[in-house]
Amino acid sequence: MNKQPLLILVICLILGILFQEYLILSELTIFYLLVFSGISLISILIKSPFFQKAKYYFLGFFFFSIGIFLHSQNSDKPEIPTLKEKENIVFQLSKKLNSNEKNRRYFVEILAIPSNDIKDFSPIKTVLSIPKHQEPLDFNHFYNAEVYIHQPEKINNDFQFDYEKYLARQDVFLQAYLPNDILKTEKTEVSFYDQIRQKRLQILNKINQTPLSPKIQEFLKGIILSDRTEMDSETVQDFNQTGLTHLLAISGSHMVIIFWMTLFVFNQIIPIKFRKLSIILSLVLIWIFAVFIDYGSSVMRSCLMITCYYVMVLLQRKSDLLHSLALSAFMLLIFDSKQFFDVGFQLSYVAVVGIWWLSGPIKKLFRKPKYWLEDFVYSITAMTFSAQIATLPLAIYYFHQFSFVSIFANLLIIPLSEIIIISSLLMVIAIAFGMKYLLVFQIFDVFILYVLKVIHWLSSFDTLMNKNLSLGLLELSALFLMIYFLKFIIKDIFNLKYLLRFSFCLLLFFGLRIGFNYYNFEKEEVLVHHFYKDKIICVKKKNQLVFWLKENKNEEKIIDFVINPYLVSRRLSDFEINYYPEDSESFVYGGKQYKLK
């Protein structure tokens, strides 16, 4: 507690958030818990040996209670009015989402439902899908349209992705589809924030009008303006399979590079005695940039981490990476405790902790560098391996896949990331100010196109891709313990004590894995899966698995959204698909009748 007090208190806060997420205490219980933890916190003022020894536990318990209270407040669901299947709504744009083949998708705020006489109507955040032939939405108008509207469907099985909960964590509680025309009214007064977002939309449209190839346009919009809504599926898949998705999203590496670039420029302009001013101006600029690109979760995390770190530098205090991480996490979770359940939040912090924990020992495995370029290569290699090792368990736990090519892809592309990000940023600035030099566009287009070709080539090594990997929470914990002891193994591989501890974690992991695999192997069950209006029957007898579905259906989507999640949950790899006739109404299995309609 004396070395990393803030980190330990943040862990206590997170434990409280998790406790409330899965046990859901009543308001009265939370009130009593807060009163008790508050009293115990005051007791640390008592000068008694017992209370002085227990004060750290009381403080941790207080933050644990605060975590429970915050998450209970953030998890409150607003009252959703009773809705017809078809409703006329008045709404405004909140955020663009990724499009699909047929529709553009948005987060919108429903401001009124004329047919519903609700007093003090509160805006309801909704996912809205609009056919691509319709005019895109913007922030300068209010819209009125008739939509098909409903609440997200609840999941029927434990292995399914809970889309309802995913949306609720973003305060979204309805889904709507708008098939017909939209009436729009220009806003008489546009808020300053909406003006900024509208300006961003205008720059996105300007990028579309450049002579850059369509693929490069979408790459440019994604890497700098955090807009991947129209990016083609092939590019997204290439980045996913090579473990380079973090390059497409505005992440910590982007913000650090942009911060260092602005700091370098200011250091050349501002005299040495005013170097603190350079840091302040650079921090202000990255926050302006964060607001401009709609301050997404990853951007806020990055900006907070950088700010917390450099505030310590400005205050002439010893800069501590873990203190900066803990402080930024604390501020984010106090503001919105649901952020913790964002996979990006977890991966970001685990990656930085992994770099802090492992990069030093890994770098020492290389020879002492003689030149700055050699030192740079060693540092990048050490940080890449550290981040990959630290985030690997979480990546498998959430995404159920891992490609060995991702290690080589990151080692190859990350050293180029500074050039890619800086050149892309300068290109967006130039486009925003109306640059029309064709040669510059051609050079940038060729450069990025070759980068994308290399990434596509790396993604073609399908044999190195492992899919449908299962990993439970206990196995995940065992892997993190192994990573903890890995540092000591790297430092001194012949130390028997550390070898034994690492070996114990390894045996624990395989013991848990064998146990869970055997448990799922022995399970026999018949399940009915729902995919839109269709029913898919699954029959499992130990390692034999058969899916029954109607003929002439889209097998590819059923495999992606029904079969693969089930295979992961039951730790199976082989299955068989059979078909039942269209006019079948039910079937009998094991003496039990299952209705199909």
Instruction: Using DSSP, state whether 263 is helix, strand or coil.
Output: helix
| Whole-number Å distance between alpha carbons of 307 and 252 | 12
What confidence category does residue 224 fall into, taking pLDDT thresholds of 50, 70 and 90? confident
Nearest CA to 410 out of 244, 551, 259, 287 is that of 244
Q: Is the pLDDT of residue 519 over 90?
A: yes
What confidence category does residue 3 fall into, taking pLDDT thresholds of 50, 70 and 90? low
Q: Is the pLDDT of residue 80 over 60?
A: yes
Q: Is the pLDDT of residue 195 over 80?
A: yes
Q: Is the pLDDT of residue 115 over 60?
A: yes
What confidence category does residue 127 fall into, taking pLDDT thresholds of 50, 70 and 90? very high
| Whole-number Å distance between alpha carbons of 10 and 15 | 9
Instruction: Using DSSP, state whether 210 is helix, strand or coil.
Output: coil
Do strands 174-177 and 124-131 pair parallel, antiparallel, or not at all (unpaired)?
parallel
Q: Is 305 in contact with 320 (CB distance < 8 Å)? A: no
Tens digits of per-residue pLDDT, 491-509?
Answer: 888 888 999 999 999 999 9
| Whole-number Å distance between alpha carbons of 502 and 455 | 35
End-to-end CA distance of the chain: 60
Least confident of 197-201, 369-373, 485-489: 369-373
pLDDT given for residue 108 in this prediction: 93
Q: Is the pLDDT of residue 291 over 90?
A: no
Q: How many CA atoms lie within 13 A of 33 on its CB side?
A: 20
| Whole-number Å distance between alpha carbons of 325 and 561 | 36
Tell the residue number behind the tokens 């205090």, with chain if given.
317
Cβ within 8 Å of residue 345, ≥6 positions away: 297, 301, 332, 339
Q: Is 177 in contact with 147 (CB distance < 8 Å)? A: yes
CA distances from 523 to 63, 80, 242, 537, 571 (A): 41, 40, 35, 16, 11
Q: Is the pLDDT of residue 261 over 70?
A: yes
Tens digits of per-residue pLDDT, 299-308?
Answer: 888 888 888 8
* CA torsion through residues 436, 438, 444, 448, sign: positive
pTM: 0.87
pLDDT given for residue 99 in this prediction: 83
Q: In what order do the strands lie in the sheet with 576-580?
A: 524-531, 534-541, 544-550, 576-580
| Whole-number Å distance between alpha carbons of 315 and 312 | 5
Q: Is 497 in contact with 480 (CB distance < 8 Å)? A: no
Nearest CA to 126 out of 78, 87, 182, 172 is that of 172
* CA torsion through residues 340, 341, 343, 347, sign: positive
| Sequence letter at residue 281 | L
What confidence category does residue 119 fall into, taking pLDDT thresholds of 50, 70 and 90? low
pLDDT given for residue 433 in this prediction: 85
